[in-house]
Chains A and B, each alone.
Chain A
Amino acid sequence: MISGQAIADHSIAHAGPWPRSLRGQLVLIPTAALLVGLVATVGIVLLGARTRIATEITSGIQLGDELVATALRNVANDTSPAAAFEHLAQELPRVRHVQFSLFPSDGPLLQETKAQIDDSSQHQWLWLGQLLAPPPVERVFPVIVRGQTAGEVRLRSHSADEVQEIVSEVALFSGVLIGLCLLIVGALLWTVQRSLKLVQLLADGFDRLEQEDYRPIVPIPLLELRRVGQQFNHLAQSLQRVTTDNHLLIHELISLQERERKELAAELHDEFGPALFGIRAEAACIMRAMPLDEAPDREIRERARSIADLTDGIQKLNYRMLERLRPLVLEQMGLCQAVRQLAASWQARYPNMTWLLIIDRDFDEPDEATSLTLYRAAQECVTNVIRHAEGSEITIRLRQMEAERTDEMDAASAGSRVLLSVHDNGKGLPKNLRFGFGLLGMAERVRRHGGVLRVRNRHPSGAITEVVIPKHGQVPKGEPVHADPAD
């Protein structure tokens, strides 16, 4: 509302190290931990894989050896080599990691037991197999039927299915871990999102405090923040109390000042003025009654003249005091004439400055209270310009604005308004403008009328003070906000 007050101290927010994001940290930390776990698991599995494959292959070959030896013993007495190979083909079962091949001496490859997974079919894992698996082992057993060599059985180790198993295990581990990771991060994000919304509620609350909106925020449905919410509401309440007290105090001060001025002005006007006139009238009568040019007439006449002169001085002082206390023109002739006279009297004192007074052609005189407020505002503005602006031109404007809402500064009132603006071409507002009592008092007067006071710099130079007052009374404040933090 009093825009000048909120200018300074925004730099504090940007001080200190780069701000960390809670959300980012909550995602990063568990993700990193889970990734480390994943890498470690895969590493451990792969490290153990070489030994595991070697052991598996060795036991497979041992088993193969025994099976081949047994089968060979069983076919030793078969009737023909062909029958023996047929027998062998039935006898030799499938064994993990081992491939049997039957080679009759008089013919081509008879049969080959398929490995569970052919090495050659697993191209994508071949490099892993080569890395992890020991070199393949090949054994050759002669097939002897009735003392005659009928061919051979070849036994060959295969590591591909073991590699495949390890790869599947790693894939499963990784899949489960990544899924878990996503689940945890998702849950964390959701929780953080919800909690941050509540923090946002608080932040919005503080923003509103800055705008002098002291409505409480809704109870926070989060144990850890609930107390903060309650504290916020207490803070808002006490702040509102303090602000109200402040407004009241300033208002009281101003009313008191205005009342005293009025009483003093009434005394000066109703008692001092006539009495001083009375004295001068008496002195004038004395002078008329003493027309002769010799003593004692002359002496008496001169004394009476002195009394008249002294009284004249006091009368002039009396009039100036009256003007300062409560401008007679304002009471008798209204705001426009009073502001004209204000400009004229300042112009007489500062003839080197250009004084411009622009009043709307159809300007209606506002009611007495509004007029007084606007007049005092004009007085204060002009005084400020003279004291601080170091400008050469000052423009005072009185306007009235009809029902359209063209200005964002008082969206609350859409009725017709009176606008007073005073601007100069001086050096502009100081960097850290603090309202002195004059401006504070002016802002409070304006606020009491439901109006707005705005002080700002003007392009290309100088400053402008604007006062907007609704023509008819005050505008009530809105209803309390009911924000739902959960949505």
Chain B
Amino acid sequence: MRILLIEDHPIVRAGCRRLLQTRDDVEVQEAATAADGLRIVREFTPDIIVLDLNLPDVNGMSLLAPLLSAAPERKIIVFSMYDDPAFAQRALESGARGYITKNDDPDVLLQAIETVSGGGLFLTASMTGKLALMAARGGSDPLRDLSGREREVLELLGDGKTLAEIADRLNISYRTSASLTAQIKTKLNITSTAALIKWAADRLRA
């Protein structure tokens, strides 16, 4: 198994190399910069790339696409300092097969390599939990499901405007403003229009 390590810090590279060498079947190459990484990847054709996000020349996140474009079946494990689930989410969305951090137990690196080489996705248990929480809470934005129009209507309701005034202001028909209000109520799980107006006035009015 050929593994390319793209990581700018020599101590981390040394640590990873030692860990990886505990397996007999791996061949490791290293790159300290994104440029080096892109060059080596062409000659070395690794099966797995361990990619740091914090590279001196370029953001590692933007390196995912060029690394994958030549060989989409290549497996990339993002290896970063960032504990935030948003990073993991973006890395996975950009095509990474695993996301681990330097604060995790180093053995996790070996587990991740094991998992992704077998075709799986790898996340630590704590990161999986955080991602699930983030999805459930949606970053606490109660308006996340509302369209731009619905948000406008809600703001105007909070300002004390009537449906007719809202229709006039937004240049829509009265029926449309009423149905938008109904949709908002459904999305926010609020039953009455009065409660919706109070909700908006309490939260949106400056």
Proximity bits, A288-330, B CB within 8 Å = 1, else 0: 1000000000000000000010001001101100100000110
> CA separation between A423 and B102, bound complex, in Å?
37
Pick from B14, B81, B90, B139: contact of A340, CB under 8 Å: B139
Q: A344-B134, A464-B206 are in contact. Are A282 and B81 (CB under 8 A)?
A: no
Give every chain A residue within 8 A of B90 (Cβ-Cβ): 333
Q: Does B143 interact with chain A (Cβ within 8 Å)? A: yes
State which residues 1-59 of B face A: CB under 8 Å.
Answer: 9, 11-12, 14-16, 18-19, 22, 53-54, 59
* Contact (Cβ within 8 A) B12 A274: yes
Give every chain B residue within 8 A of A329 (Cβ-Cβ): 82, 84, 86-87
* Contact (Cβ within 8 A) B148 A273: no
Q: Does B107 interact with chain A (Cβ within 8 Å)? A: yes
Give every chain A residue within 8 A of B102 (Cβ-Cβ): 273-274, 276-277, 315
> CA separation between A291 and B94, bound complex, in Å?
39
Give every chain B residue within 8 A of A344 (Cβ-Cβ): 133-134, 137, 139-140
Q: How far is the CB of B62 from chain A (nearest CB, A)?
A: 11
* Contact (Cβ within 8 A) B141 A357: yes
Q: How far is the CB of B52 from chain A (nearest CB, A)?
A: 10
State which residues 257-304 of A face B: CB under 8 Å.
Answer: 269-270, 273-278, 280-285, 288
Q: How far is the CB of B133 from chain A (nearest CB, A)?
A: 8
Proximity bits, B53-90, A CB within 8 Å = 1, else 0: 11000010100000000000000000001111011001
Nearest-CB residue, chain A, relative to B54: A269
Q: Does A347 interact with chain B (Cβ within 8 Å)? A: yes
Binds B, one of A49-57, A95-103, A358-366: A358-366
Q: Does A337 interact with chain B (Cβ within 8 Å)? A: yes
Pick from B16, B82, B148: contact of A328, CB under 8 Å: B82
Give every chain B residue within 8 A of A319 (Cβ-Cβ): 81, 83, 103
Q: A277-B12, A282-B15, A315-B103 are in contact. Are A332 and B137 (CB under 8 A)?
A: no
The interface centre, meaning the residue of B12, B105, B202 with most chain A CB atoms within 10 A of its CB, is: B202
Give every chain B residue within 8 A of A277 (Cβ-Cβ): 11-12, 15, 102-103, 106
Nearest-CB residue, chain A, relative to B59: A332
Q: A273-B81, A332-B87, A340-B86 are in contact. Are A281 and B140 (CB under 8 A)?
A: no
Give every chain A residue within 8 A of B202 (Cβ-Cβ): 425
* Contact (Cβ within 8 A) A340 B22: no
Give every chain A residue within 8 A of B18 (Cβ-Cβ): 281-282, 285
> CA separation between A269 and B61, bound complex, in Å?
18
* Contact (Cβ within 8 A) A278 B137: no
Give every chain B residue within 8 A of A340 (Cβ-Cβ): 86, 139-141
Q: A274-B9, A344-B134, A356-B141 are in contact. Are A332 and B53 (CB under 8 A)?
A: yes
Q: How far is the CB of A442 from chain B (nearest CB, A)?
A: 18
Q: How far is the CB of B11 from chain A (nearest CB, A)?
A: 4
* Contact (Cβ within 8 A) B140 A347: yes
Proximity bits, B107-149, A CB within 8 Å = 1, else 0: 1000000000000000000000000011001011111001110
On B, residues with C-beta under 8 Å from A are 9, 11-12, 14-16, 18-19, 22, 53-54, 59, 61, 81-84, 86-87, 90, 102-103, 105-107, 133-134, 137, 139-143, 146-148, 151, 202-204, 206
Give me 5 other A-B pairs in contact (C-beta within 8 A), A341-B84, A356-B203 excluded. Answer: A284-B105, A328-B82, A329-B87, A340-B86, A358-B142
30 contacting pairs across A/B (C-beta < 8 A)? A269-B54, A269-B81, A273-B81, A277-B12, A277-B106, A278-B12, A281-B15, A281-B16, A281-B18, A284-B106, A285-B19, A308-B105, A315-B102, A318-B103, A328-B84, A329-B86, A332-B53, A332-B59, A332-B82, A332-B87, A333-B86, A333-B87, A337-B86, A341-B84, A344-B139, A347-B137, A357-B139, A359-B141, A360-B151, A466-B206
User: Which are the 3 A-B pairs with shortest beta-carbon distances?
Assistant: A281-B15, A278-B11, A274-B9
